[in-house]
Structure 1
């Protein structure tokens, strides 16, 4: 549910950015020359800021896309300074750039983060520079065979006045479709961002002859990537990497927002250390994810956090113990019935006669300690300590129960 909300929120944000670009274009005639000049060079500022942020937060893929867009804009805007005439530009440089950008974004999206200044990072940056240099050499060659391939027409369509050729249009369409399908299948916010980037870059290149629109839509692509850096930084700071639920830092901030009436529940997975030692850390990690996925579904207005290790916390603002006990009992029962299907371990020794294990379901239980803010427990630190004591009592009662 959290991923779905995040995806929808990101999608709406990027749609607003694109609508904002359209609004700026419609207001173009009313802008003064200095404002127009600032807007036309704004993309370079946005790309530069994005690259600084991507270096700071080690976002290698975002850096590579921003570098690609920056160099591509420089090539297209200053082709005459590179001794490329208008004919060569329209027949070679521009269509080749329309091929280069979407193909590279698809490739970059599949790369793993390896660090910008590592050997892999330097190789990736070098490959982009080499690609652009090769593209420049091809454009300067004016080879008629390459020109025919680049500007090949598949079918007769009413696109005579369109500056982008059919091959580039098809390539952008396939790239957009690829990221839409991938975003839907993986429920990935990163692919949603790339959908917005591809739409922005396509629109910019489609209106290449209007330098104002070209710069605005490239700026939109840069803004989307900057927002992605901010969103990822927030996730790293406030969301637990393993389970995906809010972390202890987020818990501390939420504790400061509580009023005079609230309940805190401390939750611990029963016998988790023995479970981890028996089945291994990978299975243990999967079980932590399974428990967390149940905790975020707690009813009664509760919000779940990972406290540390196998411990979790749930806050119930504005509630009393009697209000939350039924919801915690339902949660405890729900966790106890949620089985984890362990994959069978295959025997690799051909001499062994033992058969591979059958898939089996593993079950865990949780113990819950609950404490309410009262005159005895005056602040959230004391309430947490009270919930911890209640959790200890739940363990002594035999586990798999709620204690207050």
Structure 2
């Protein structure tokens, strides 16, 4: 059991470095060093002044370290400047601990080591340590509240903080620190795996699922479904005219609208093309919903000189506005198209026919022909 945390954290550290993630590695390194220092210089089964001093110092420095590594942006493992900064932080803490152990007056040590609640047998952390954990927890909570993209490791950081507070509070009980540190390593491993899965399956720009997720979803579709292919009209011209930043805003806007699809799932297929999958539905059943999405995109206003997407009535009248349209093709399985991949290509044929018919249309692929769905009123493309 004594070596379990080292084994787990070494594995977790290797995975962190393999994935070029320095933040979780530094969190693990901080917990690892606390275990090493306690094991060799202040074992829980030996009560001494050195133990009291180290316990106070480490229980104060650990939450600050966990906070620092969690709030700093990820730099990867090859950023020399950041690596030098990390080294300087650890060296400075080592010098501080050495100085306190050698030079600080015993009276000061007794003062800083005094528990915040001396009369309570179940709470042993000092005032400085308690303040450190509360401050770290508060700042990490604020960071999570303002987080725009899901990062499992950020949430895992809060659990690591709570677990280490518990472990240090129960430090005098032999084996608790090692057991909790092992759990910390496992949590970091799990968070890295989930983050890697999220990155692989989600489209970073638009925030909806990507092509890899679409391919896996195809495996469980069954025999009854409809697939729609969606393409933004004149997107290349829009990019060339207004710039790639505005093009990215358009992709986000279209993805946001498509993600409101009822009865289906939206995926970014690639470039300016999206895929909508409707399990258990026929092409005819989803036509009305696809028309709703087409109209909503066409009616959405884009303010160019504001460099953002929206329909805020408070914007200046001088703002230049444009609208974007989409073309869609939809298909369902038939005798010739029996797999999702074949049906998707069949829907793509309808999409290209919608382009040829003038864009901003929905075309349903049927057998050897494709039928255009009735078009309702919508703004024309800019």
Bin of the TM-score, shorter chain as denominator length: 0.7 to 0.9
Alignment partners' CA distance in 2, 1:339 and 1:237: 32
Kindly state the Cα deviation for residue 387 of structure 1 after the two structures are TM-superposed. Answer: 0.9
Kindly state the Cα deviation for residue 342 of structure 1 after the two structures are TM-superposed. Answer: 4.4
Question: Are residues 1:365 and 2:328 paired?
Answer: no
Partner of 1:48: 10
Partner of 1:353: none
Partner of 1:6: none
| Partner residue of 1:225 out of 178, 188, 207 | 188
Partner of 1:126: 87
| Partner residue of 1:248 out of 206, 211, 214 | 211
Kindly state the Cα deviation for residue 171 of structure 1 after the two structures are TM-superposed. Answer: 1.7
- Alignment map for 1:77-96 (pairs within 5 Å): 77-80=39-42, 86-90=48-52, 92-96=53-57
> CA offsets per residue over residues 204-227 of structure 1, 9 Å max, x none?
111111132222222222222111
Partner of 1:112: 73
Alignment partners' CA distance in 2, 1:335 and 1:151: 63
**Paired residues, what number?**
351
Question: Are residues 1:60 and 2:14 paired?
Answer: no
> CA offsets per residue over residues 281-315 of structure 1, 9 Å max, x none?
11211221121122121012x11111110001111
Alignment partners' CA distance in 2, 1:326 and 1:158: 69
Partner of 1:295: 258
User: In the alignment, is the contact (CA less than 8 A) between 1:68 and 1:128 conserved in 2?
Assistant: no
Question: Are residues 1:212 and 2:175 paired?
Answer: yes
Alignment partners' CA distance in 2, 1:123 and 1:357: 52
Partner of 1:278: 241
- Alignment map for 1:34-45 (pairs within 5 Å): 38=1, 40-45=2-7
C-alpha change, 1:41 and 1:121, in structure 2 (3 Å) is same
- Alignment map for 1:71-220 (pairs within 5 Å): 71-80=33-42, 86-90=48-52, 92-144=53-105, 147=109, 150-151=112-113, 158-159=119-120, 162-186=123-147, 188-189=150-151, 190-220=153-183
Alignment partners' CA distance in 1, 2:218 and 2:122: 61
Alignment partners' CA distance in 2, 1:103 and 1:85: 26
Kindly state the Cα deviation for residue 147 of structure 1 after the two structures are TM-superposed. Answer: 2.8
Alignment partners' CA distance in 2, 1:118 and 1:316: 45
Alignment partners' CA distance in 2, 1:198 and 1:290: 37
User: In the alignment, is the contact (CA less than 8 A) between 1:93 and 1:135 conserved in 2?
Assistant: no
User: In the alignment, is the contact (CA less than 8 A) between 1:248 and 1:307 conserved in 2?
Assistant: yes
User: In the alignment, is the contact (CA less than 8 A) between 2:202 and 2:213 conserved in 1?
Assistant: yes
Say which SS state the counterpart of residue 403 (structure 1) adopts: strand
> CA offsets per residue over residues 105-146 of structure 1, 9 Å max, x none?
222123232221331353244235314421431242141276
5+ long unaligned stretches in structure 1:
1-37, 346-355
Kindly state the Cα deviation for residue 149 of structure 1 after the two structures are TM-superposed. Answer: 7.0
User: In the alignment, is the contact (CA less than 8 A) between 1:114 and 1:120 conserved in 2?
Assistant: no
C-alpha change, 1:398 and 1:123, in structure 2 (3 Å) is same
User: In the alignment, is the contact (CA less than 8 A) between 1:96 and 1:135 conserved in 2?
Assistant: no
TM-score for the superposition, normalised by structure 2 = 0.84
Partner of 1:317: 279
Alignment partners' CA distance in 2, 1:186 and 1:141: 43
Partner of 1:258: 221
Greater mean deviation of Cα atoms: 61-70 or 280-289: 280-289
| Partner residue of 1:70 out of 32, 37, 58 | 32
Q: Which structure features the higher share of helix residues?
A: 1
> CA offsets per residue over residues 170-191 of structure 1, 9 Å max, x none?
2211211221222123255443
TM-score for the superposition, normalised by structure 1 = 0.79
Greater mean deviation of Cα atoms: 334-343 or 209-218: 334-343
User: In the alignment, is the contact (CA less than 8 A) between 1:47 and 1:66 conserved in 2?
Assistant: yes
5+ long unaligned stretches in structure 2:
308-315, 365-382
Kindly state the Cα deviation for residue 358 of structure 1 after the two structures are TM-superposed. Answer: 5.6
